[in-house]
Structure 1
């Protein structure tokens, strides 16, 4: 499941011994797993701080605790400690942390949500914006809500029709249209103010 090198175990053991807290271990979790923002969180934890559903990996002199919800995303992860001229560096590789595209048998909602998180929102983030999926109707209409810099933006219609709708209809079979459920008049920090707006 997770490979933790001897060098990494030695590094953790030294740090834990320095703390001198009985039962202190290392907890590993995935932040925002399955998204482009996914990252690994590594921290020391006492047994009283654990949720109780963590997976335990016995290491030499300590326990590595895996957050239960993060397990599928951390499967195959490698933890190593490399000594360099300027000191040491902990290296964590988690190839599954950003998730994998849903297969053809996945629901339309899963396939739409994946494309929004992996492709559409990273592009909108360049303008401080994002969209969230409100629903996918039985006839394949995707209903979205704009947020951030896209909420109230004068270019939201163009973004929706020429960007988001085009992308979803090309890449997710079954999507028939995309609609915006956002009340853009309430946007407080649009990327581009609407014409006539103060």
Structure 2
């Protein structure tokens, strides 16, 4: 069940009244659910926008529609609005949205992927970069592909050895090494330019 606090309901009613569109509701969906990037998305929706499988939460003065594929991830969520001097802040606290870190009996791939998404990619994002897991070999070598600002970056080897490989090997003992399989010659917006020659 999703709880909409009265302050949030009042906020939504005000938004909907300002749109002056009969039958307009609010739709809530989970984005990247079950991953460390999990988030919620709210949008206006007219009756014609509905797919028909949404769950309806009747609030005083409006309906909150929850997309069917988001219901399990948003169970127990609380939507609140806290007023402050700048207007206010809407918050959605959904304890199950991002899933749980893999347990010790999870596969090596699951544990590596979770560590990449929860720790490594957020750090690379500060330079506009990211890394994607392509494979974990039978002998524990992690094969990665760089993208964004890391694709073609002149410092990618330092990032790989001193950051990514060190983190993965320290936190997941089965990882024996990390290899970059990216074609860096095709990178068009590197954070640091590579030196010619």
The question of a shared fold, defined as TM-score above 0.5 by the shorter chain, is answered with yes
The DSSP-based 3-state class of the residue aligned with 2:65 is strand
Q: CA deviation at 1:150?
A: 1.3
Moved more, 83-92 or 147-156: 83-92
Task: Tell me by how many angstroms 1:50 deviates.
Answer: 2.1
Seen in structure 2, the aligned counterparts of structure 1 residues 115 and 11 have a Cα distance that, compared at 3 Å, is same
Aligned-partner SS, 1:163: helix
1:105 aligned partner: 105
| TM-score, normalization by structure 1 | 0.82
The answer to whether the 8 Å contact 2:4/2:80 transfers is: yes
CA distance 1:137–1:97, change in 2 (3 Å): same
- Label 1:86 to 1:182 Cα distance change in 2 as closer, same or farther (>3 A): closer
SS in 1 for 2:139: coil
- For 1:79, what is the secondary structure of its paired residue? strand
The TM-score, its normalising length taken from structure 2, stands at: 0.83
Whether contact under 8 Å (1:36, 1:122) holds in the other structure is no
Number of aligned pairs?
197
Could you say what secondary structure the match of 2:102 adopts?
coil
1:114 corresponds in structure 2 to 114
Match of 1:184 in 2: 184
Q: Which residue of 1 aligns with 2:63?
A: 63
Give the superposed CA RMSD: 2.6
For residues 183 and 18 of structure 1, what CA distance do their matches in structure 2 show?
A: 51
C-alpha separation between the residues in 1 aligned to 2:187 and 2:84?
50
